[in-house]
Amino acid sequence: MTSLDKEALDEILAAEAVAIISPADFPNTWAWYSIVSKFKPEIQQGWSKAKELKGAAKEKKLDTRGQKAAEKKVEKAKKETAKPARPVAA
């Protein structure tokens, strides 16, 4: 869960819009609300900021790509050095 979920839940509760969220009319919204509303406010405060999560995920993805590229170069270098030299024909 992110801070966006907390903000949306707060808006629904402040507007007393829970009565108009019907499982028949809005099944996805009802499913989301039925899960999110079960968390205590203390837990909701711990939900991280969505923008921070997105930025961290992007950085992690870039780090992983760079790491994988470096690992491939090392493997390639190991394979090339492990190959026996071809005998030269006289």
Q: Over the stretch 18-61, which tens digit does the pLDDT of each residue have? A: 777 788 888 998 898 889 889 888 888 877 776 566 666 666 66
Residue range 52-76: mean pLDDT, rounded: 67
Q: Are residues 21 and 7 part of one domain?
A: yes
**90 found inside a domain:** no
**87 found inside a domain:** no
**89 found inside a domain:** no
**44 found inside a domain:** yes
pTM for this model (two decimals): 0.46
Contacts of 17 (CB under 8 A, 6+ apart): 11
Q: Are residues 4 and 42 part of one domain?
A: yes
The candidate with the shortest Cα–Cα distance to 36, out of 44, 26, 28, 46, is: 44
**14 found inside a domain:** yes
Count of the separate structural domains present in the chain: 2
pLDDT of residue 52: 65
Query: Largest alpha-carbon pair distance within the chain?
Result: 92
User: What is the CB neighbour count within 10 angstroms for residue 33?
Assistant: 20
Cα–Cα distances (Å) from 86 to 2, 44, 45, 89, in that order, read 60, 66, 67, 9
